[in-house]
Structure 1
């Protein structure tokens, strides 16, 4: 099933809207009153874990939609983001952010691989690439704040 132009716009709109908590957390980590900065950073970390897990779910659905011999391997790979995100929440905030950052970079690489593109529209890697770059940069912004 091919998504039409309205579905593409909706996907982009929802993807961009999904950046709002990352951007808000990154800005508040630097600009909020000191007591709120910790809350903003914690919120950023928790949201990051949720979104990383969501990316695995997208690949899970795609693997089930496009059944082929590699689907079993893809289903296993689709579980990795959740298995990275959950333990990241158990670490101290700085270490957790590094783990989540690595998870987004790994998923970004997979999104651009041939197997990672299977089952997605041709414009999807551009969307994922843009969102991944912004999310990775915002992780760096928050990490700099923690170490600054």
Structure 2
């Protein structure tokens, strides 16, 4: 995948999306680290907090697709309807994942993040979304999935 770039025109400071995206990774990184390094009592809080944050962010990614449909798809088109319907899927994956055993829920959330990324890489999204967004989302997804991998590993060891 290409390195993060801001070759597409961005409003204002082109570093803002990168800074906000990286800031959004902090709870993932902290939660994954706490699952391994924190005292046991804190680990018991860190893992559910990690999973809850993951579910929130996965739902947020569905909202991004809703916004893309509303602003970039022609109203009433097949693409508009499909993107609106698909924008609901991340929330419908994230919320039930929180009701499952933490290990299973973490796997479900990983699947959700990967499905969203696959959709973003599809032809219809590549045509609508700028290159900088694609690069940023790839970076963020790799880190998020890696953090989930650490939490999954910890839950499997526990």
| Superposition TM-score, scaled by structure 2 size | 0.88
3-state SS of the aligned residue for 2:130?
Answer: coil
Report Cα offsets for 1:32-83 as digits up to 9, x if no partner.
0001101111110000000000000001001110123211001000110000
Does 2:81 align with 1:72? yes
* Unmatched 5+ stretches in structure 1: none
Q: Which has the higher contact order (CA 8 A, sep 6+)?
A: 2
Equivalent in the alignment of 2:11: 4
| Superposition TM-score, scaled by structure 1 size | 0.94
Aligned residue pairs, count: 146
Find the aligned partners of 1:119 and 1:9 in 2 and give their Cα distance. 21
Find the aligned partners of 1:118 and 1:132 in 2 and give their Cα distance. 20
1:15-34 to 2 correspondences below 5 Å: 15-34=21-40
How far residue 10 of structure 1 moved from its aligned partner, in angstroms, is 0.6
Does 2:65 align with 1:56? no
